[in-house]
C-alpha cells in the first residue's frame, strides 16, 4: 500500500540508481514532503506546487544544484541530502 501511494500519487519511483519524480496530486496541494531512505543515505524531498497544478515538473534540485530532467540520482554515500521539486 505504501509503495502504491508513493508511486501513484506522490510520483516517487525508483528506477535503477535514481528516483524518478512525476507527481499527480490535487490542485489544492500547495506542497508536500517525503523522507526517502536508500541504505544509509537519507533524502528529504520537498515538492512545491505554487501554480496549483495536477502534474508536471519544472525543475529538480539536489543539495542546491539544478538537475537535468526529473530524476534524483541515488548517491549511496551515507549522507543526508535535500531535494526540491518545483511543479510546472
The average pLDDT across 71-85 equals 97
Span 15-49, pLDDT tens digits: 999 999 999 888 999 999 999 999 999 999 999 99
CA distance 20 to 22: 7
The average pLDDT across 51-70 equals 95
pLDDT of residue 20: 96
Residue-wise burial string across 17-46, b where 16 or more C-beta atoms lie within 10 A, e elsewhere: eebbbebebeeebeeeebebeeeeeebebe
Please determine, for residue 85, whether its predicted confidence score (pLDDT) is greater than 50: yes
Domain limits, the chain? 2-87
In the chain, count of helices (H) and strands (E)?
1, 8
pLDDT of residue 1: 47
- Mean pLDDT score across all residues of the chain: 91
What is the CATH code of the structural domain delimited by 2-87? 2.60.420.10
Amino acid at each position: 500500500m505504501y509503495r502504491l501511494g508513493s508511486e501513484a500519487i506522490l510520483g516517487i519511483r525508483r528506477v535503477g540508481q535514481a528516483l524518478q519524480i512525476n507527481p499527480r496530486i490535487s490542485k489544492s496541494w500547495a506542497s508536500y514532503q517525503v523522507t526517502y531512505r536508500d541504505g544509509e543515505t537519507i533524502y528529504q524531498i520537498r515538492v512545491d506546487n505554487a501554480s496549483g497544478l495536477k502534474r508536471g515538473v519544472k525543475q529538480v534540485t539536489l543539495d542546491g544544484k539544478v538537475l537535468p530532467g526529473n530524476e534524483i540520482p541515488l548517491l549511496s554515500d551515507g549522507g543526508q541530502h535535500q531535494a526540491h521539486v518545483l511543479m510546472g
